[in-house]
Amino acid sequence: MVVSAAALPTRTATDSPVATAIPRILSIAGSDPSGGAGIQADLKSISALGGYGMAAVTALTAQNTHGVRAVHVPPAGFLRSQLQAISDDIELDAVKIGMLADSQVIGVVRDWLREHRPPVIVLDPVMVASSGDRLLDAEAEDALRELVHLADLVTPNLPELGVLMREAEPGDWAAAVRMAQQLADAQQTRVLLKGGHLSAGPARDALLVPGEQPVVVELPRLQTTNTHGTGCSFSAAIATCQARNGDWGQSLAEAKDWLHTAVARGAELRVGSGLGPVHHFHRWHPEPVTDDWWRRIEPIRAGILELPFIRGLAAGTLPEPEFSYYLAQDARYLNGYSRALARASALAPDERQQAFWARGAANCLDVEAELHRTWLQKHPASPLEGPVTKKYVDHLLAASGSSYAVLVAAVLPCYWLYSWVGKELAASRSLIDPHPYGAWLDTYADEDFAAATEQAIEFAAMAAARVDGAERELMWQAFQAASEYELEFFDAPRAALGQAGSGR
């Protein structure tokens, strides 16, 4: 059975609700100083889902978003002391178990579980690093296999499932589900098979319960590098939900839905240059309105990439008169755009924003002069203002008579779409050597411009956060109209020179 995360079954007769208002959840796991995985991820996940989090540390790692550099395992006796201190004093509603560094550590955890038998035990069998390296020696792997039947839920990813079953990693989803069902039946426990490691298709997981049909949950696979600690976060989230509602299907659905948005919004955290963390507390941080605008202009973005002008530019087949027309209009446009940016500088609420827009205004004049000095000398074209250029500049000048917030929204698409088109074209530019428009395309992908774009987006989001709903709507309208003018601007050479279909 395949269901969306939101449509999973509610409580079944065999599930017993714990019905605790704030569930008390203990994570027994390793420390990740970069905060994306291990106990740090567990505590954030537990808190984000409304639990009270505790942590008994099994190992200290030295790692960041690029990988694990070293592992230090404190004496197993000290882990026993941590667990004893907790169970001597605190009633637990669930335990989540993550990285267990060696067989001695696993022995301590096994003995403690047998003695105290917490109501919910979720075991994330951390055995294989993202790099594919085995994290446990053979003795520890055996000890971990023996721990599986003590868990209410075990959550292997594909490589870990293979190791638990002493078989090769399953090659596809169907084989993985079969293997996970065998594990569930053999150990008489629930298995949550995680499909994040599959290279294509949706982000799919399956809950296997002995003697029952598999329940598959899937959500779209996100194109992101923010996947560090997804397994830790997922298992801690499921443990928390299960302690609260006592229904495995519902807990899986809740945790999956929460994790999906956490993965989607991980990039907002700007942590590290490798595989970044997920945004555990996304529900506390409203999405910047600029992200919503960007999503809403998706049809415009798709339209831009389909334009004969852009396709011809990428392929190097764009007729030169169209390129010259575009450059001449760009020079005209930049002059008007510079005035709008200067006005944004004048209206800016602080000196940082004032200086930013003033620098942008000056840059436009420099680029305009440069266009005349270099390209337009070699590619002469009519200097008269075209109809699209006029409409677009008029829009910016009208916004200049409005508020700072509306003006910033109006000038934003020129930064954002230009920088985005630059990245989109960079790949095809590198395939053609020499590329007739190569030198010019390189200016599109300029890193300083990309940084300025990020800054402009942030200032627009800040402005949007300070205005009321009516003005935010005006900001959106100004942003949307400017985005449409960007599309028309790229299409203007074809329309003006009457060469429909050229550039292909």
Ligand X SMILES: Nc1ncnc2c1ncn2[C@@H]1O[C@H](COP(=O)(O)OP(=O)(O)O)[C@@H](O)[C@H]1O
Q: Catalytic site residues?
A: 194, 227, 229-232
Interface stretch with ligand LCLJCK34, choices 17-25, 222-230, 250-258, 437-445 (CB under 6 A)? 222-230
Query: Distance from CA of residue 482 to its chain's centroid?
Result: 27
**How far apart, in Å, are the Cα atoms of 404 and each of 22, 292, 294, 356, 471?**
45, 20, 20, 14, 11
Query: Cβ(98)–Cβ(232) under 8 Å?
Result: yes
125 binding partner (options ligand X, ligand LCLJCK34, none; Cβ < 5 to 8 Å by kind):
none
Q: Which is nearer to ligand LCLJCK34, 226 or 290 (CB)?
A: 226
224 binding partner (options ligand LCLJCK34, ligand X, none; Cβ < 5 to 8 Å by kind):
ligand X
Q: Phi, psi at residue 354, to the nearest 5°?
A: -55, -50
Three-state secondary structure call for residue 346: helix
Q: Which is nearer to ligand LCLJCK34, 228 or 282 (CB)?
A: 228
Selected binder of ligand LCLJCK34 within 104, 227, 242, 483 (CB under 6 A): 227
| Cα–Cα dist 441/256, whole Å | 41
Binding mask 271-290 for ligand LCLJCK34 (x = CB under 6 A): --------------------
Q: Which is nearer to ligand LCLJCK34, 29 or 410 (CB)?
A: 29
Query: Distance from CA of residue 270 to its chain's centroid?
Result: 10
Query: Distance from CA of residue 113 to its chain's centroid?
Result: 36
Q: How far is the CB of 231 from ligand X (least distance, A)?
A: 2
First-to-last alpha carbon distance for the chain, in angstroms, is 46
Q: How far is the CB of 3 from ligand LCLJCK34 (least distance, A)?
A: 24
324 binding partner (options ligand X, ligand LCLJCK34, none; Cβ < 5 to 8 Å by kind):
none
Three-state secondary structure call for residue 192: strand
Query: Cβ(338)–Cβ(368) under 8 Å?
Result: yes
Indicate the burial class of 231 (C-beta count within 10 angstroms; 0-12, 13-18, 19 or more). Answer: buried
Q: Which is nearer to ligand LCLJCK34, 261 or 354 (CB)?
A: 261
Contact status: 100 vs ligand LCLJCK34 (CB under 6 A): no
Residues 6 or more apart in contact with residue 504 via CB below 8 angstroms:
308, 311, 312, 315, 317
Contact status: 98 vs ligand LCLJCK34 (CB under 6 A): yes
110 binding partner (options ligand X, ligand LCLJCK34, none; Cβ < 5 to 8 Å by kind):
none
Residue ranges in 245-274 that form contacts with ligand LCLJCK34 under rule CB under 6 A: none
Q: How far is the CB of 98 from ligand LCLJCK34 (least distance, A)?
A: 5
Residue ranges in 27-66 that form contacts with ligand LCLJCK34 under rule CB under 6 A: 29-32, 37-38, 61
Burial 342-360 (b: 16+ CB within 10 A, else e): bbbbebbeeeebeebbbeb
E-strand stretches of 119-240: 121-123, 153-154, 190-194, 203-208, 215-219
Interface stretch with ligand LCLJCK34, choices 143-151, 229-237, 283-291, 478-486 (CB under 6 A)? 229-237
Tally Cβ neighbours within 10 Å of residue 462. Answer: 16
27 binding partner (options ligand X, ligand LCLJCK34, none; Cβ < 5 to 8 Å by kind):
none
Selected binder of ligand LCLJCK34 within 20, 230, 242, 245 (CB under 6 A): 230
Indicate the burial class of 210 (C-beta count within 10 angstroms; 0-12, 13-18, 19 or more). Answer: middle
Q: Which is nearer to ligand LCLJCK34, 61 or 400 (CB)?
A: 61
Chain residue whose CB lies nearest ligand X: 231
Interface stretch with ligand LCLJCK34, choices 48-56, 224-232, 358-366, 430-438 (CB under 6 A)? 224-232
| Cα–Cα dist 271/277, whole Å | 7
99 binding partner (options ligand X, ligand LCLJCK34, none; Cβ < 5 to 8 Å by kind):
ligand LCLJCK34
Q: How far is the CB of 146 from ligand LCLJCK34 (least distance, A)?
A: 20
Q: Which is nearer to ligand LCLJCK34, 135 or 334 (CB)?
A: 135
What stretch of H or E contains 95?
strand 94-97
Q: Which is nearer to ligand LCLJCK34, 160 or 254 (CB)?
A: 160
Q: How far is the CB of 195 from ligand LCLJCK34 (least distance, A)?
A: 13
- The edge-to-edge listing of strands for the beta sheet with 190-194 is 2-4, 215-219, 203-208, 190-194, 153-154, 121-123, 94-97, 24-31, 52-64, 67-72
Tally Cβ neighbours within 10 Å of residue 419. Answer: 22
Query: Cβ(363)–Cβ(355) under 8 Å?
Result: no
Binding interface with ligand X (CB under 6 A): 157, 194-197, 203, 205, 221-222, 224, 227, 230-231, 234, 256, 259-260, 263
Q: Which residues bind ligand LCLJCK34 (CB under 6 A)?
A: 29-32, 37-38, 61, 98-99, 126, 130, 227-232
